[in-house]
Amino acid sequence: MVDQSFYNAALNGIYSFHASTAAYTEFWNNTFWETQDVQCQKLSCHHIWQAFIQESICTISAASDIHLEIQDGLVIDEVTKEAFEILGENGIIRAADQHACSECTHKYKKTADWLTGDDPVALVDNDEN
């Protein structure tokens, strides 16, 4: 049950904050590991990505009314391939069919609206920028 709560938190955090796995990993480690007296290592981006994929697959299979069973011990890329084989219908997972919103779909932009011209390397440890 702890895993399921954590997986759900990772999925919701990434979607709600539009965060990358690196950003969510940093948030989790800074929020929880810094305040806990634990003997295990901090989470990595791989942990968060695994949680995101697993919870996404569980959510989609539940919404599709499909009891999904996948072979144990697969690497995450194989898990997604097998899940797509079972849940995908001619290349579409129905949970996403006809979905488009201003938060998840944007027109491609070749360049940013505003460029500072600052050298990113020169800005390291400079909080003004």
Chain segment 26-73, per-residue pLDDT in tens: 988 888 877 777 677 788 999 999 899 989 999 889 888 889 898 888
Q: How far apart are CA 109 and CA 93, in angstroms?
A: 27
Give the domain range for residue 28. Answer: 2-105
Q: Is residue 113 part of a domain?
A: no
**Which range among 6-10, 11-15, 37-41, 43-47 shows the weakest confidence by mean pLDDT?**
37-41
Structural domain includes residue 14 = yes
User: What pLDDT is stored for residue 125 in this prediction?
Assistant: 59
Decide if pLDDT at 129 tops 60. Answer: no
On whether residue 94 sits in a domain, the answer given is yes
What pLDDT shows up at residue 127?
A: 54
Contact 58, 6 (CB under 8 A): no
Average pLDDT, the chain: 80
Per-residue confidence (pLDDT) for residue 64, from 0 to 100:
84
Of 26, 22, 30, 24, nearest in space to 12 by CA: 24
How many other C-beta atoms lie within 10 A of the C-beta of residue 125?
4
Q: Count of domains in the chain?
A: 1
Cβ atoms of 25 and 48 within 8 Å: the answer is yes
The answer to whether 45 touches 21, Cβ cutoff 8 Å, is: yes
Q: What type of residue sits at position 114?
A: W
For residues 88-92, average pLDDT:
76
Whole-model pTM: value is: 0.65
Please name which of 24, 23, 92 lies closest in space to residue 55, comparing C-alpha atoms: 24
- Does residue 100 fall inside a structural domain? yes
Is the residue at 129 inside a domain?
no
pLDDT for the residue 48: 92
Flag whether 128 is in a domain: no
Q: Which amino acid is at 24?
A: Y
Of the two residues 104 and 73, the one the predictor is more confident about is: 73
Residue 31 lies in a domain: yes
